């Protein structure tokens, strides 16, 4: 019964006219939106309304929340879900937004087994307890530059997809069991390649932060897939095709060379 009620509520929200002011926000602050086919633009607008109704936003560090902040984040987050039969990030309840980079405690494990805590500046985080934390300055910069391979919203919401099965291991829910075999083979090999090239001091297309662990590799690869698709398809064709199959999108067709 609850599922039917939720589905009906979402249908009503999607049927509402998309506010003209919100459309202007997307046109001005998220250039990739205008490159989407009209059908994808319509789908994204519909789902943004549901996302904003179901998720709670909180301003942190003195940030006053605005429609620009909420709509921009929701639209970028939904880009990862376009054309896919999926829930609205079911484990996510709250998006915490700071005005700029913020300080968070991190646990550091040294090679000799010593564990210490340290304050580290961050631009974003994804928690498996139901929250995403973002820096608004980074959100705005990532949305406006669609071909630099850096987008904190895509990165952290890729983590949310990864965490839907309760484990942050670089393997989101793929459906058929056979899909996991190809995923492990291709992304595993690409992860090891990035680790090796990073250790050798070589220049890489993929952000070298992705060499940290498989979860970070998936998030970094997602950023590159949507923002530098031509380069990724050329240099890492198998990785591009695997992400294309997962996301059901082909961003190389949207972004000019």
Q: Is 217 helix (H, G, I), strand (E, B) or coil?
A: helix
d(CA 192, CA 201): 14
Whether 88 maps to a domain, the answer reads no
Q: Which residue has the tokens 């994804």?
A: 126
CATH number, position 184:
3.40.390.10
Q: Is 7 helix (H, G, I), strand (E, B) or coil?
A: helix
**Bridge partners, residue 102, by sequence:** 122
Quickly state the pLDDT bin for 87 (edges 50, 70, 90).
Answer: confident
What DSSP string runs through 11-40?
HHHHHSPPPHHHHHHHHHH-HHHHHS-HHH
Q: Provide the domain limits for residue 183.
A: 169-257
- DSSP type of residue 198: H
Phi and psi for 132 in degrees, rounded to 5?
-120, 135
pLDDT (0 to 100) of residue 204: 97
Whether 120 maps to a domain, the answer reads no
Query: Contact, 105 vs 186, CB < 8 A?
Result: no
Q: Which residue has the tokens 């059908």?
A: 39
Whether 192 maps to a domain, the answer reads yes
Q: What pTM, to 2 d.p., does this model score?
A: 0.91
pLDDT at 139 over 60: yes
Report the percent of the chain where pLDDT is more than 70: 92
pLDDT (0 to 100) of residue 256: 66
- What domain count does the chain have? 1
pLDDT (0 to 100) of residue 56: 97
d(CA 217, CA 169): 10
Hey, how many other C-beta atoms are within 10 angstroms of the C-beta on 99? 15
pLDDT at 100 over 60: yes
Q: What's the mean pLDDT in 169-185?
A: 92
Whether 224 maps to a domain, the answer reads yes
Whether 86 maps to a domain, the answer reads no
Q: Which residue has the tokens 């086919």?
A: 37
pLDDT (0 to 100) of residue 106: 61
Whether 208 maps to a domain, the answer reads yes
Instruction: Residue 60: name the closest of 87, 95, 97 by CA.
Output: 97
HSE-up of residue 199 (Cα within 13 Å, Cβ side)? 8
Please give the biggest Cα pair distance in the chain. Answer: 59
């Amino acid at each position: 019964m609850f599922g039917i009620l939720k589905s009906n509520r979402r249908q009503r929200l999607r049927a509402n006219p998309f506010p003209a002011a919100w459309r202007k926000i997307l046109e001005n602050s998220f250039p990739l939106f205008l490159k989407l086919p009209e059908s994808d633009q319509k789908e994204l607008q519909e789902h943004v309304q549901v996302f904003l109704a179901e998720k709670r936003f909180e301003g942190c560090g003195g940030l006053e929340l605005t429609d620009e902040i909420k709509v921009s984040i929701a639209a970028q987050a939904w880009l990862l879900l376009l054309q896919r039969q999926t829930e609205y990030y079911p484990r996510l309840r709250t998006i915490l937004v700071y005005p700029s980079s913020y300080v968070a405690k991190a646990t550091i494990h040294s090679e000799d087994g010593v564990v210490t805590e340290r304050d580290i500046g961050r631009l974003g985080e994804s928690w498996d307890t139901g929250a995403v934390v973002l820096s608004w300055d980074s959100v705005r910069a990532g949305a406006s530059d669609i071909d630099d391979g850096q987008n904190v919203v895509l990165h952290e919401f890729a983590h949310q997809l990864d965490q839907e099965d309760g484990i942050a291991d670089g393997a989101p829910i793929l459906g058929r069991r056979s899909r996991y075999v190809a995923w492990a083979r291709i992304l595993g090999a690409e992860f090891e390649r990035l680790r090796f090239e990073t250790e050798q001091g070589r220049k890489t297309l993929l952000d070298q932060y992705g060499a940290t662990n498989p979860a970070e590799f998936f998030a970094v690869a997602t950023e590159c897939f949507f923002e530098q698709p031509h380069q990724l398809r050329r240099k890492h064709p198998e990785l591009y095709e695997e992400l294309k199959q997962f996301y059901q999108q082909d961003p190389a067709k949207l972004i000019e060379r």
